[in-house]
Amino acid sequence: MQYIGYTLLLIHTGLLVWAIGGFLEMILQDVPWQPFTNPEFPTWVLIIHWSSVLFASTAFLYGYITQWPNTPQIMAAAYGFMAIVCLIETFGYMTSKTKYIAMGGEFLAYALILFFLFNTRYFVNYFSPIESTISH
């Protein structure tokens, strides 16, 4: 189960880099990579999109590294925020034929991660206040 924790650290580090890159794409005229911001989304959607990804990634990274006991609850809120953004993007702006499959995959990922954070012995112990003080 510890390997799932390391995998989640890697995933959320990637999300952090992705969010920073998305904000840079909004600010700069040209970026030295192929842009990954969806051109179908208006600026206001992009602001909440990148903000939600930035919040979720930094919250998980901070929470996991410090063994913050509130990490699972904060991640539930963060993924809820990201899910709302996904709904807005999917039903309001996306035109891809696979948009509903992508949305389902995203929601499934959130559900699985939250299941692990709230229901596995490793993560429950890892984020428990008693375990956190013992580990440090």
- Is it the case that residue 135 has pLDDT exceeding 80? no
Whether the pLDDT of residue 131 is over 90: the answer is no
102 secondary structure, DSSP code: H
Does the pLDDT of residue 111 top 60, yes or no?
Answer: yes
Domain residue ranges of the chain, discontinuous segments joined by + = 2-135
Which residue shows structure tokens 């602001």? 47
Q: Does residue 107 contact residue 85 with C-beta atoms inside 8 Å?
A: no
Q: Which residues contact 79 (CB under 8 A, 6 or more apart)?
A: 56, 110, 113, 114
Classify residue 125 by burial, with Cβ atoms within 10 Å: 0-12, 13-18, 19+.
middle
> Predicted confidence band at 129 (pLDDT cuts at 50, 70, 90)?
confident
Task: Tell me how far apart the alpha carbons of residues 90 and 105 are, in angstroms, rounded to a whole number.
Answer: 13
d(CA 10, CA 34): 22
The reported pLDDT for the residue numbered 130 is 75
pLDDT tens digit sequence for 67-108:
999 999 999 999 999 999 999 999 999 999 999 999 999 999
Residues contacting 120, CB < 8 A, separation 6+: 1
Hey, is 35 helix, strand or coil? coil
pLDDT at 136 over 60: no
pLDDT 10s digits, 24-77: 999 998 999 999 889 899 999 999 999 999 999 999 999 999 999 999 999 999
Q: Tokens 């930035």 appear where?
A: 54
